[in-house]
A and B are shown apart, each in its own frame.
Chain A
Amino acid sequence: MSSINLDQLYRRVIMDHYKNPRNKGELSDGGLTIDMNNPTCGDRIHLTMQVEDGIVKDAKFDGEGCSISMASASMMTQAIKGKSVGDAVKMSKSFSDMMLGKDLDDSLDLGDIEALSGVSQFPARIKCATLAWKAMEKGVGDDVNPN
């Protein structure tokens, strides 16, 4: 039998976010809008964020993709709400490290998101998991550094 098991990828909490995505939709009052694709597979995310005084006040996503990409987007929007832009970016870096199978910085609590750590054992799926985070980084990057 194989040492990698599907249940390591498809944790219950991930499937819950896939089936009942949090923050699905679009923020109506302007704010930051980011569209990002994964050209190798066709996954796509439309992320809207409201950032005030360096704090992510609200975030919503829309898009199409597999369970991993959509669950990751749902978890990401939930995690960054109320956080400072700096902390959101730090979480994203931490998430990328987790995808590479690196040990996590204990000072950052990723909560439910740690359920996605199993993705690191499925290299073909890492880009699915990181799509929403890349979109968020791009959005706040544009905001923080307008140039």
Chain B
Amino acid sequence: MITTEIKKRFPILDQEVNGHPLVYLDSAATSQKPDVVIEAVKRYYENDNSNVHRGVHTLGNRATDEYEGARQKVADFINASSVQEVIFTRGTTTSINLVAQSYGRANVSEGDEIVITMMEHHSNIIPWQQLAKETGATLKYVDLEDDGTLSLDKVRETITDKTKIVSVMYVSNVLGTKNPIKEIAEIAHQHGAVMVVDGAQAAPHLKVDVQDLDCDFFAFSGHKMCAPTGIGVLYGKKALLEDMEPVEFGGEMIDFVGLYESTWKELPWKFEGGTPIIAGAIGLGAAIDFLQEIGLDNIDRHEKHLAAYAMEKMSEIDGLTIYGPADPDLRAGIVTFNLDGVHPHDVATVLDMNGIAVRAGHHCAQPLMKRLDATATARASFYVYNTEEDVDRLADGLRIAKEYFSDVIH
């Protein structure tokens, strides 16, 4: 059971913005950080800061233990079969680029296909566009259904024996749709393709089991799940990662360096060139402990409830369109909307003046916006610290926006 007590664990939420208590509804962009994460990073810098994997001294050992301890927490969190399958990156974007540049360049050639969907975030479009251009492969899109879901029939029609990579987001950052990753992975595998999952909006909110999903790669970011910015994860199946070449070369990732040839460390370190984001990884470890203490199933249920409550409250407002599946069971805690006659930027400004933070724009998903025939939308996204009261404030704020603009416009 998630109570309002959890909000108190997030110091930033205890403030007024423009004269109103802050209601933060932009967690899909980045989440706020609980006290334990802030303390973990502070404690590391105050007590243990040192470089990892090199010092003989005590601080070096402590930093290494904490950094590698965080990796173990990540492995357990997503149920990876080995800690060697967890690579620390800068975030989801870096993780997907690593797959495209390493696995992609080695395994995709002219005439091959890469399959993604119309709902992807730019970070799961552009790396594949670039790979397709570079290799002469074809980039194919699975279209959406009108209710904002993916149809497995269309997935089956799009993936062929020429398909080498299928890459799909687990949860849509715009529509909130939860996609049937396990089923899509199965179809990809039937055709000999690998399955890449953009888990940026999933890992913070629902229980992820990479073995059950049977995905080949899974990418996510720390900052959307209570951890600091700058830390992310790429999970990959060990057999695939072992055959892959690093994309960044330099310190930390080498085994032996000669004048003209060098060899790489074993997994996962061969992919972690340079001094890693040590404090970020430790912060991510603390965030995972925090989320697991609450329970991912509880978080999922809480957000689904808030999204359903928001959809109910918002549907009472005339002229308000909600995008994505109408069935709350098909979606996560993201509600994207437009208020008729009022541009989403203007909606967001009025809400901000009432202390409510929402996102307005194209949400880094321009092809999807085009598909929805919307140039921009506003988005409220919920997390563990949001409450029904926050939703009520949002609904009140939307009424204020509507009234304000009807006064000024008409």
User: Interface residues, chain A, CB within 8 Å of chain B?
Assistant: 1-2, 4-6, 9-10, 12, 15, 18-19, 40-44, 64-68, 122, 124-125, 128
Judge whether A18 and B409 touch: CB under 8 Å: yes
Complex: chain A residue closest to B408, CB-CB: A15
Judge whether B345 and A15 touch: CB under 8 Å: no
Residues of A within 8 A of B404 (CB): 6, 10
Judge whether A68 and B409 touch: CB under 8 Å: no
Give the complex CA separation of A129 and B381 in angstroms.
27
Residues of B within 8 A of A124 (CB): 349, 352
Given A66-B343, A66-B346, A42:B362 Cβ within 8 A: yes
Given A40-B361, A41-B376, A122-B349, A67:B343 Cβ within 8 A: yes
Judge whether A44 and B361 touch: CB under 8 Å: no
Most B CB atoms within 10 A — which of A6, A40, A125? A6
Give the complex CA separation of A64 and B376 in angstroms.
9
Partner of A42 from the list B349, B350, B361, B409 (CB cut-off 8 Å) is: B361
Give the complex CA separation of A10 and B375 in angstroms.
22
User: Interface residues, chain B, CB within 8 Å of chain A?
Assistant: 18-20, 343-346, 349-350, 352-353, 360-362, 366, 369, 375-376, 404, 408-409
Give the complex CA separation of A125 and B348 in angstroms.
11
- Given contact pairs A6-B404, A19-B409, A124-B349, a sample of 8 additional A-B residue pairs in the complex whose CB atoms are under 8 Å apart: A4-B18, A6-B353, A12-B408, A41-B360, A42-B361, A43-B345, A67-B343, A125-B345
Residues of B within 8 A of A15 (CB): 408-409
Judge whether B343 and A42 touch: CB under 8 Å: no
Judge whether A2 and B18 touch: CB under 8 Å: yes
Given A40-B361, A64-B375, A6:B349 Cβ within 8 A: yes
Complex: chain B residue closest to A64, CB-CB: B375
Listed by A's residue number, 28 A-B pairs whose Cβ atoms lie within 8 Å are A2-B19, A2-B20, A4-B18, A4-B353, A6-B350, A6-B404, A10-B346, A18-B409, A41-B345, A41-B360, A41-B361, A41-B362, A41-B376, A42-B362, A42-B366, A42-B375, A43-B345, A43-B375, A43-B376, A44-B375, A66-B343, A66-B344, A67-B343, A67-B346, A68-B345, A122-B349, A124-B352, A128-B345
B339 to chain A, nearest CB (A): 12
Residues of A within 8 A of B19 (CB): 1-2
B349 to chain A, nearest CB (A): 6
Judge whether A9 and B18 touch: CB under 8 Å: no
A130 to chain B, nearest CB (A): 14
The binding surface of chain B is classed by DSSP as helix
Give the complex CA separation of A4 and B18 in angstroms.
8
Give the complex CA separation of A14 and B344 in angstroms.
17
A141 to chain B, nearest CB (A): 27
Complex: chain A residue closest to B401, CB-CB: A6
Judge whether B353 and A2 touch: CB under 8 Å: yes
A118 to chain B, nearest CB (A): 11
Give the complex CA separation of A8 and B353 in angstroms.
12
Given A15-B409, A19-B409, A44-B375, A9:B362 Cβ within 8 A: no
Judge whether B409 and A9 touch: CB under 8 Å: no
Give the complex CA separation of A9 and B352 in angstroms.
13
B329 to chain A, nearest CB (A): 30
Judge whether B361 and A65 touch: CB under 8 Å: no
Give the complex CA separation of A57 and B73 in angstroms.
67
Residues of A within 8 A of B376 (CB): 41-43
Give the complex CA separation of A44 and B362 in angstroms.
12
Complex: chain A residue closest to B341, CB-CB: A19
Judge whether B408 and A42 touch: CB under 8 Å: no
Residues of A within 8 A of B362 (CB): 41-42
Give the complex CA separation of A40 and B363 in angstroms.
9
Give the complex CA separation of A41 and B20 in angstroms.
26
B100 to chain A, nearest CB (A): 22
Complex: chain A residue closest to B404, CB-CB: A6
A40 to chain B, nearest CB (A): 7
Residues of A within 8 A of B360 (CB): 41
Give the complex CA separation of A43 and B20 in angstroms.
29
B286 to chain A, nearest CB (A): 31
Closest 7 CB pairs of A and B: A66-B345, A2-B19, A66-B343, A42-B362, A41-B361, A2-B18, A15-B408
Complex: chain A residue closest to B352, CB-CB: A124
Residues of B within 8 A of A68 (CB): 345-346
Give the complex CA separation of A5 and B345 in angstroms.
16
Residues of B within 8 A of A125 (CB): 345, 349
A7 to chain B, nearest CB (A): 9
Complex: chain B residue closest to A19, CB-CB: B409
Residues of B within 8 A of A19 (CB): 409
Residues of A within 8 A of B20 (CB): 2
Give the complex CA separation of A19 and B375 in angstroms.
18
Give the complex CA separation of A11 and B190 in angstroms.
61
B236 to chain A, nearest CB (A): 31
Residues of B within 8 A of A128 (CB): 345
Give the complex CA separation of A88 and B19 in angstroms.
39
Complex: chain B residue closest to A18, CB-CB: B409
B122 to chain A, nearest CB (A): 10
Give the complex CA separation of A65 and B374 in angstroms.
11
